[in-house]
Structure 1
Amino acid sequence: MYTYHVYILKCCDGSYYTGITNNIAIRLAQHQHGIDKYCYTYKRRPLTLKFQQEFNDVLQAIYFEKKIKGWTRAKKLALINGDYDMLKILSECRNATHFKYQSLKK
């Protein structure tokens, strides 16, 4: 049975890269050595592993990776720092039409 890792790398330019792999050590080495010159991280080396989470189900890992890729930088930093309270705050809908704010208008 495989395990899958969703990971976040911090690039030398300060940006973040999110990926998924079934072998974290090999994948990190590939990123660091610049195996693929078309990869986002190729020109942004050196890289630092900032976060990883292990999954037993590949579909859950893929779902989580795609979810993180859609997040803002602030949400990624909250996850990296383990600040789950801030992550919850950043995840709340703040649109004026959100049901939470509708009761305040009455």
Structure 2
Amino acid sequence: MHYAWVYIMTNAPNGTLYVGVTTDLVKRVWEHRTGALPGFTKQHGLKRLAYFESHDDINAAIQREKHLKKWRRDWKIELIERDNPRWDDLYEGLLK
């Protein structure tokens, strides 16, 4: 069972990036997409889920999020393009 998720939101391919962590990925991405909460993602229109990974432990997910936030932008882009080269919005796949 997946307990926590690290994810990257964007507004367009190679656009602004946001790295986050959550225990409810579907709900959290929905909040970003609808602008339900104020903040960076709403301000920059980050509605596309470009990348996510699961973790069995919330502490491991938090550490991974902190690690990714320190990465250079080009490393984050490489991470996204490794699994999602077309920068598809992965949100719809979560609902299946």
Q: Deviations over 1:23-68 (max 9, x none)?
A: 111001111111222x101122252111100000111100100000
Contact 1:11 1:17 in 2 (8 A): no
Alignment check: 8 A CA contact 2:33 2:48 kept: no
Q: How many residues align?
A: 82
Structure 2 gaps, min length 5: 84-96
Q: Which has the larger radius of gyration?
A: 1
| Alpha-carbon distance in structure 1 between the residues aligned to 2:37 and 2:26 | 16
Partner of residue 30, structure 1: 31
Mapping for residues 30-69 of structure 1, pairs under 5 Å: 30-37=31-38, 39-69=39-69
Alignment correspondent of 2:17 = 16
Q: Which runs of 5+ in 1 are unaligned?
A: 84-106
TM-score where L is the length of structure 2: 0.76
> TM-score, normalised to structure 1's length?
0.70
**1:65-84 equivalent positions in 2, closer than 5 A:** 65-82=65-82
* Stretches of 4+ aligned residues off by more than 3 angstroms: none
- The one-letter code sitting in structure 2 at the alignment partner of 1:65 is E
Structure 1 stretch 65-74 or stretch 46-55: which is displaced more? 46-55
Offset at residue 11 of structure 1 (A): 2.3
**Which residue in 2 is equivalent to 1:4?**
4
RMSD between aligned residues? 2.0
Identical-residue share of aligned pairs (%): 30
Which one scores higher on RCO, CA 8 angstroms, separation ≥ 6?
A: 2
From the superposition, tell whether residues 35 and 45 of structure 1 become closer, same or farther in structure 2 (CA, over 3 Å): same
**C-alpha deviation, 1:14, in angstroms:** 1.4
